Amino acid sequence: MPPRHDEAPELAPPNFPEVHLPPSGPEAVYVPLHAQATPVKLEESTNPSTINAAYAAPFENSSSSPYTYDLQSAYGAVPPTEQGKAHKRILGCSILVFTLSVIIAILSAAVIGLAAGTGVEANRANDAEARLASMTSSPTTVTVTAPTSTSSGFSNIDKGCSTNSASVTGSTYTSQFFDRPAFKIYCNSDAPNNPLSSLFVGDFDDCIDACASYSFYIPSDFSNNATSNNATCAGVSFIPAWTNRTFAVEGNAPGNCYLKPGPQNETALNNPNIGSAVHAAILDTSS
């Protein structure tokens, strides 16, 4: 009998393994820029858990959100990778510009101060030259008139002989030094004898004190001449007009006070005739 097709042995239902096609490429995972991690090459590892751990590490180790950089960049924040490159500024200017501005300001102040000081000194120099020119163009002539013996200007240096000679004559002056010797005053009189010494003094009293000093020191300093008439000053002649050095030079006078040796007495006095008043004082030996 011919074979029939339905009598052939039945085939078992197919039980082939399922075929899964590999993905066309590795799955992309977003990694933040600030996360520092060593990438893992997919072709070097066949363990899916290793790949997932490599991409998940930046998110697990980062303390901030993976979107932190995007939010900060949107509001003008400096990206984390550029923070070290930001330039320092002072008052809105770079350090170089600020330094140059300070130097220029200091130099400007110095130039202004120098110009002001130079102007002041120039004005002073101009004023001095103007004054000098005015003085040289119109010299001033000064006339000096010697005071006379009757001038009241001498009353404070001649014990009043120039204003009231009558009452002053015969009065006594006692020195406060050199054993306190006493002298009698004679206005408008000149003590005789050549002078022992001449000197410039301030007033009549100083002239008499100089005479007392001479008698005090000379005998002790020159003991060999202690008994000599020249060792003692017995009187003085005082010319008040020659207290002024100009008048003394004009009269060729070496001083306004002349110390005279003894003997001295009232009857030996003479009237001066030198063109200026002369007043005398002689040692009072009666005391």
Distance, CA of 45 to CA of 54 (rounded, Å): 11
The tens digit of pLDDT for each residue in 34-85 reads: 555 455 454 444 555 554 554 445 445 544 444 444 444 444 444 544 455 5
Alpha helices of the chain — where are they, by DSSP H?
48-61, 68-74, 95-137, 161-168, 204-221, 245-250
Whether the per-residue pLDDT at 1 is higher than 70: the answer is no
| Distances, alpha carbon 261 to alpha carbons 130, 232, 233, in Å | 59, 6, 5
Q: Report pLDDT for 17.
A: 58
Q: Which amino acid is it at 118?
A: T
| Pair of tokens at residue 178 | 């050199």
Asked if residue 14 has a cis previous peptide bond (ω within 30° of 0), the answer is: no
CB atoms within 10 A of CB 273: 7
* Dihedral pair phi/psi, residue 275, rounded to 5°: 90, -5
Which tokens hold the place of 39?
A: 């990438």
SS3 at position 185: strand
Inform me whether the pLDDT recorded for 199 exceeds 70. Answer: yes
Specify whether the CB–CB gap between 281 and 235 falls below 8 A.
Answer: yes
Least Cα distance to 250 among 261, 266, 239, 237 occurs for 239
Residue 207 near residue 201 (C-beta atoms within 8 A) = yes
Distance, C-alpha 46 to centroid of its chain: 89
| pLDDT per position as a tens digit, 217-254 | 988 777 666 556 678 899 999 999 999 989 899 889 99
pTM of the predicted model, to two decimals?
A: 0.48
The neighbour count for residue 135, using CB atoms within 10 Å, is 10
DSSP for 47-65, please give it: -HHHHHHHHHHHHHH-SS-
Mean pLDDT of 153-172: 90
Q: What is the pLDDT of residues 272-281, one digit of tens each?
A: 888 889 999 9
Q: Please, how many CA atoms are within 13 Å of residue 5, restricted to the half-sphere of its CB?
A: 0
CA 263 – CA 232 distance, rounded (Å): 10
Between 71-80, 107-116, 123-132, the lowest mean confidence (pLDDT) is in 71-80
